[in-house]
Amino acid sequence: MIKKQPEQHSLSDMIESSFESETFPESHVFAEGIQILPAGYDEKCCRVHFSVPYTTRDSGPLHLHIIEPKQTIEEGKTYPLILYVQGSAWLAQDTGSQVAQLSRFAQRGFVIAVVEYRPSTVAPFPAQVIDTKTAIRYMMQHAADYHADPQQVFLWGDSSGGHTAVMVAVSQENEVLDECAAGDDTSLYPPIQLRGVIDYYGPADIAKMANEPSVLDHTGPDAPEGLLIGGVRPADHPELVRPTVPMNYLADAHGIPPVLIFHGSKDRIVPFGQSVLLYEALKQHDKEVYCYQLKGADHGGEPFWQQNILDIVEDFIRRYL
C-alpha cells in the first residue's frame, strides 16, 4: 500500500492560511488611464496534482493525475469522484493526453483521477483491471485529501481504457480480478461500489475485432489483442480470450452499475460493432445501458468532447448520485 507523502505547502496554501480574502483591504493606489473590470467567478479554475503514486509493482510505481474542480475549495466541500482510464491499446499510456479535456469536465464539479496501468508488454491481462481497482481503492482511502466523495465513484475510460472500465464493473466480486499490490489485503479496504461507467469506444470481444474493417491487425501475436493475452494469436487461444470478454461475466455478476457508451460510426481502430455486442448483451441481462453512435466519428478526438456530449455524460452521472 502506498502511503501519502507528507504534504508540502505551496504559496497558495500559505496565502489561504494567512488572511481571509473578504476582509483584506483593497488597494487605493491608482493611476490615470487604468481601466477597472469587476472580478468574475463564474468560470472555475482546476487544480491538478500530477504523478501521484498509488501503488508499486515489480515494474515500478504507478501514478494518478488528480484534477480538483477548484483551486480553492471551501472546508468540508466534496465532489463526486471519477476515475478515468486512459486508452493505449493496453500498451504504455500517455496519461496526460486528455487532462485538458478532463479539466474542462472537472469544472462542472467533479474530482477526476487519471489512472496509469501496467502495459500488456510488462504484464498481460488482467493486470490492467487489477491496477484500476487498486487505483479506485487508493482514491477512496485518500478521498478527503482531494475533496472527493468516496461514496460517489464513477469509472470512465476510452478505447482499451473503456474495456478496462467495463471489466472492472462486471468483476467487482471476482477474486481473481480483485488483487491489490503485493502485501496488500483487500479486506482492509471498503468494497468497490461504482455508481456508473462511461465507455468511450472500448473493445468488447478481442476475438471479433477483425469482423469489421480496421486499419490495424487484430489477429496476430504482436497485435494489441495478442499482446494483451501474452503475445499469442487470439484465435489459437480461446481459453485466454474468454476471461477478457466482459459479456462472459454478466450471468454471474451482481451489482453491475449503469453503463453509458459512445462510439463513432467510422472508427478505424475499434469497430463500432464492438459496442453493439456489449450493448445487446447488457440489455439481454436486463442491465441499465445507454448507447450513442456518433455519426461519422473516428476513434476519439473532438467529437467526443463537444459540449452536447459532455452534457449527456454529466446528466448520466448526476442521475445516479
Mean pLDDT of the chain: 92
What pLDDT, in 10s, does the model give residues 209-237? Answer: 999 999 999 999 999 999 999 999 999 99
Nearest to 47 by CA among 30, 71, 64: 71
Strand 60-68 and strand 111-115: the pairing is: antiparallel
Residue 147, C-beta contacts closer than 8 angstroms, at least 6 positions apart: 68, 73, 77, 78, 79, 111
> Does residue 253 have a pLDDT over 70?
yes
| pLDDT the model gives residue 218 | 98
Percentage of residues in the chain having pLDDT higher than 70: 89
> Does residue 144 have a pLDDT over 70?
yes
Task: Give the chain's length.
Answer: 321
Residue pair 49/65 in contact by the 8 Å Cβ criterion: yes
Instruction: Give the count of beta carbons closer than 10 Å to the beta carbon of residue 108.
Output: 16
| pLDDT the model gives residue 182 | 44
| pLDDT the model gives residue 24 | 85
- Secondary structure (3-state) at 48: strand
pTM of structure: 0.91
Between these two residues, 56 and 23, which has the higher pLDDT value? 56
* CA 247/CA 249 separation, integer angstroms: 5
Nearest to 128 by CA among 51, 198, 215, 224: 224
Distances (CA, A) of 10 to 7, 64, 66: 9, 20, 17
DSSP-assigned letter for residue 18: H
Alpha carbons within 13 A on the beta-carbon side of 68: 19
> Does residue 104 have a pLDDT over 90?
yes
Confidence tier at 254 by pLDDT (50, 70, 90): confident
| pLDDT the model gives residue 181 | 44
> Does residue 8 have a pLDDT over 70?
no
What pLDDT, in 10s, does the model give residues 41-94? Answer: 888 899 999 999 999 999 999 999 999 998 777 778 999 999 999 999 999 999
Lowest-confidence region among 159-168, 174-183, 214-223: 174-183
Furthest-apart CA pair in the chain: how many Å?
A: 80
Chain centroid offset of residue 90 CA: 14
| pLDDT the model gives residue 83 | 98
* CA 164/CA 135 separation, integer angstroms: 13
Reported in sequence order, the residue ranges of 159-268 that DSSP labels E, i.e. its strands, are: 194-200, 259-264
DSSP-assigned letter for residue 82: E
> Does residue 180 have a pLDDT over 70?
no
> Does residue 118 have a pLDDT over 70?
yes
Cis check: omega of the bond before 224, within 30 degrees of 0:
no
What pLDDT, in 10s, does the model give residues 274-307? Answer: 999 999 999 999 999 999 999 999 999 999 999 9
Domains of the chain listed by start with CATH number = 44-319 (3.40.50.1820)
| Bridge partner list, 153 | 81, 194
